[in-house]
Structure 1
């Protein structure tokens, strides 16, 4: 059921934020080491050098915050990409942006002795940009010009190509393989807040930018001719949206590796709740993306306990059936 009134939508955001806080608390207390809410409270306000307190502050809290930020960023990137391409399957993973960021990170790890976290973020942004520009250029070639189908095919091809390059680099460089193998599966485990702080300013700026252009996105999805007829500078809106997608996807990959399906699944859930108005779709997608990645991360801790499944594997398990459903629905409508 779609929420119609502004009051209902604001109430939905409040409910989503409360649910997000609940899962943040769950991420802090749930796992192999049993922790109670009281112990979590004491770790923050009456810290002692106990094992549980150290786990809460140095492991669980950074993990929960990183999962929330990465999930929100990937979901908003998916909203922007699906709106720009008018393709329900568009996402940073499907269009090769995650693969481009991953390739450049692996290149940096392979050929530089040491690279700072800030440098890692910029390398990831560069890889995401190269992938985005390449996909756009390939999709625009030909008399038909840029179409959703051509973009999807170009994105799939570039994703496969860059993934192959990444695998080849790892085969040739065992040092890089040891350092990034778990990261490449998509994981928020073992990350400190330094990883998040190195990219958070860019991600926060991209969140704000996405909200600022949401009204223009609403006009753009009506069609190129309609948007231009209403005086919109469509080229400028597309360029800004592309930059925002690169910041969101590149920053997320720099922190947690290439996590898939969040950008495909969450925008559809958000639109099913608030309709097509991107002034509401974007904040709803951000909240739902954070919640979904938190749920996937909590679940990943229990599947093969005491070991953990990378959260990217869990999002694939959750997202693959929905991806197939959307793909079949799209084929039937053509």
Structure 2
């Protein structure tokens, strides 16, 4: 073993945290918790150090542990032994997509006086893939449902409708929308129960949670993303805000729906004119690696946070933080 090199597979990425570190397995979409000391060993220049030289680097203090973990990581297929380390190229972590906008959230209530159809048409022109429409009351319920047929052959990959609960809700109409519009997902919020109703291979989700423009994010380890696309984007951008545009119920254009700052109103400005400005795009590039607290969290390349970002004393802070790295 001593004359071999040990390398992690390129899909297995080391991330250091405060209390412990992890190995992200982007191919199996899972992560392995490891002690920070092992991170220090594995973050050495493994391509230029044989296992013997690796032991020497740490003055033979960790010889037994190094062998134990190399055997474990090899058996569990996180890494491999080789005598030709330079024959295995490193993975590129660039992230480039042609879409001007990737996702959007739109809020509607009884006082909303802008055209949802016009917004959806413009979002489609911008290359938006996913759109979430939050309806806060039942006043424009039917209008939104009727509009869905128009986008059955659109370029949207997902249209997520959050509709308010009503005891007289027309389930047959919702069923029709689901079965004739494969891009549409329906969630009934503020309901009196948590339930999933199945129709063929489609479903309607009922949740007791209230959803509106002020709804705060739920941070939970179950919602972490461990895959190549997410990792590459997180290494280069703020995944929660990158190429996202949101419109609140008053028509204000924002980076995210509950942010305090508005870049104008859709009744006066086109989305395409706003999203191309440096000011609007500024938070897109404020990635977790340069945000206080987040930059020391082992989950920084897996976490989706839409939090507004503030700059103080040349440092970046999120308005809302999770408590993952305790």
Does 1 or 2 have the higher relative contact order (CA < 8 Å, sep 6+)?
A: 1
Larger radius of gyration between Structure 1 and Structure 2: 2
Structure having the larger proportion of residues in helix: 1
Structure having the larger proportion of residues in strand: 2
Question: What is the TM-score with the length of structure 2 in the denominator?
Answer: 0.26
